């Protein structure tokens, strides 16, 4: 399994040197400066590769794209779709020509990953990401004031949400807004309350079946170009895996994944196995999902969560949450060995330690939420230990 590290580009305070010190050799990145829907040129891709590979002694390569963003109009099935599809196809063609062949993407409507607290204090001073259901309900019902929002929460959560809102003060409400907004994709648009309310009202009209149909249409338009370019697309599960603020989610569980992979059969139609996203749904047996779809896993995000009965969850130590990480890693190693014995050309499965706690001096760097240096280094080291022990036990080469 290839050990990789997410890097947000030259301005990321978690540097390429940090990635190499952590033990990674593959870099997971994207051209975040290019607006959604525009084509990534060969020149821009090669320039990013040049930066990653500048110090040959580090032995780094651009292993995975995360992500080529899917324009909101594609998800909504509107606008100049022919142009957007063609630009996406051209981007995949250019990536393939440059030797970057794994592309992670998601199909979540406007709210991407969502947390309500980005700095939960842990014993010893570490900090973690968390989604508190009462705070999400306060955001939805009392800040956004979305019509009908109360139907999505239990009476207990609604009561605690009202209490939180009454005592939070303007500073607490502003912090909650900023925490939720931190999960918005891209850097080109941030919303005030009225703007987000309008966007959510419009997008909430899209039904589950309509959003599914728009994803299937996207795949039908894009996958032939991916196949020709030698690129695989791997969809990322919804985070969290539940309908959110009136928006439907369509990559929440094993049934959703099966539908997507079966809807447009292609070796280029794959899965990013995110143990944290899937693990936030108490109905998901993540090791079983890993086993069921092992042959379609093209990339893995390995992180862990601890869930509360009301639907809240906190990101935990990589080996210390509700997901049996050892079982997941074993499945990925078995699948990688199967591919090697079958002579498949892309047998190695890249993975990265997804998210991590802020540890030791992580607070001194302005890194993206969930992407500290020391916290991810610890996670990668723990997973590497599990991987090495299992491979030794089974007689597999890493």
**pLDDT tens digits in sequence order for the chain, 398 residues long:** 999 999 999 999 999 999 999 999 999 999 999 999 999 999 999 999 999 999 999 999 999 999 899 999 999 999 999 999 999 999 999 999 999 999 999 999 988 899 999 999 999 999 999 999 999 999 999 999 999 999 999 999 999 999 999 999 999 999 999 999 887 754 446 788 898 899 888 899 999 999 999 999 999 999 999 999 999 999 999 999 999 999 999 999 999 999 999 999 999 999 999 999 999 999 999 999 999 999 999 999 999 999 999 999 999 999 999 999 999 999 999 999 999 999 998 889 999 999 999 999 999 999 999 999 999 999 999 999 999 999 999 999 88
Please report which helix (H) or strand (E) contains residue 44, including its range: helix 42-52
pLDDT of residue 341: 95
* Total of domains in the chain: 2
Do 148 and 100 sit in the same domain of this protein?
no
Do 140 and 161 sit in the same domain of this protein?
yes
pLDDT of residue 109: 92
pLDDT of residue 193: 87
Do 240 and 343 sit in the same domain of this protein?
yes
Do 347 and 221 sit in the same domain of this protein?
yes
pTM: 0.95
Do 27 and 104 sit in the same domain of this protein?
yes
Residue in this structure with the two tokens 């959604």, named with its chain if needed: 36
Range of the domain at 382: 2-113+203-394
Does residue 126 lie within any of the structural domains? yes
Do 27 and 103 sit in the same domain of this protein?
yes
252-257 contacts, C-beta under 8 A, 24 or more apart: 252/281, 253/278, 253/281, 253/283, 253/284, 253/289, 254/284, 254/288, 254/289, 254/292, 254/293, 257/289, 257/293
How would you classify the pairing of strands 350-353 and 2-6? parallel
Q: What is the domain-level CATH number for residue 208?
A: 3.20.20.150
pLDDT of residue 164: 97
Residues marked active site are found at: 236, 274, 301, 354-355, 371
């Amino acid at each position: 399994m290839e050990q990789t590290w997410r890097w947000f580009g030259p301005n990321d305070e978690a540097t390429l040197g940090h990635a190499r010190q952590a033990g990674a050799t593959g870099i997971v990145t994207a051209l975040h400066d290019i607006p959604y829907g525009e084509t990534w040129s060969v020149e821009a891709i090669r320039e990013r590769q040049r930066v990653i590979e500048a110090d040959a002694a580090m032995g780094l390569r651009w292993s995975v794209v995360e992500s080529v963003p899917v324009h909101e109009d594609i998800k909504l099935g509107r606008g100049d779709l022919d142009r957007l599809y063609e630009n996406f196809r051209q981007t995949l063609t250019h990536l393939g020509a440059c030797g970057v062949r794994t592309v992670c993407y998601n199909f979540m409507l406007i709210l991407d990953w969502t947390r309500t607290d980005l700095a939960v204090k842990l014993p010893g001073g570490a900090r973690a990401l968390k989604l508190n259901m009462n705070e999400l309900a306060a955001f939805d019902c009392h800040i956004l004031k979305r019509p009908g929002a109360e139907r999505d929460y239990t009476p207990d959560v609604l009561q605690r949400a009202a209490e939180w809102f009454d005592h939070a003060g303007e500073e607490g409400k502003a912090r909650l807004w900023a925490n939720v907004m931190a999960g918005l994709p891209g850097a080109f648009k941030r919303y005030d309350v009225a703007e987000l309310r309008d966007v959510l009202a419009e997008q909430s009209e899209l039904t589950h079946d309509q959003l599914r149909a728009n994803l299937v249409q996207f795949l039908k338009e894009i996958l032939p170009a991916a196949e020709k370019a030698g690129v695989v697309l791997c969809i990322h599960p919804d985070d969290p895996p539940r309908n959110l603020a009136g928006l439907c989610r369509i990559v929440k569980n094993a049934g959703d994944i099966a539908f997507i992979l079966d809807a447009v059969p292609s070796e280029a139609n794959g899965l990013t196995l995110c143990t944290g996203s899937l693990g936030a749904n108490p109905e998901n047996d993540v090791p079983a999902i890993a086993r069921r779809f092992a042959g379609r896993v093209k990339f893995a995000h390995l992180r862990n969560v601890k869930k509360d009965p009301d639907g809240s969850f906190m990101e935990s130590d990589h080996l210390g949450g509700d997901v049996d990480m050892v079982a997941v890693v074993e499945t990925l190693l078995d699948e990688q060995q199967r591919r090697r014995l079958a002579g498949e050309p892309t047998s190695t499965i890249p993975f990265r330690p997804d998210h991590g706690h802020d540890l030791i001096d992580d607070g001194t760097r302005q890194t993206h939420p969930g992407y500290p240096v020391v916290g991810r280094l610890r996670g990668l080291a723990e997973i590497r230990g599990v991987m090495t022990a299992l491979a030794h036990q089974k007689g597999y080469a890493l």
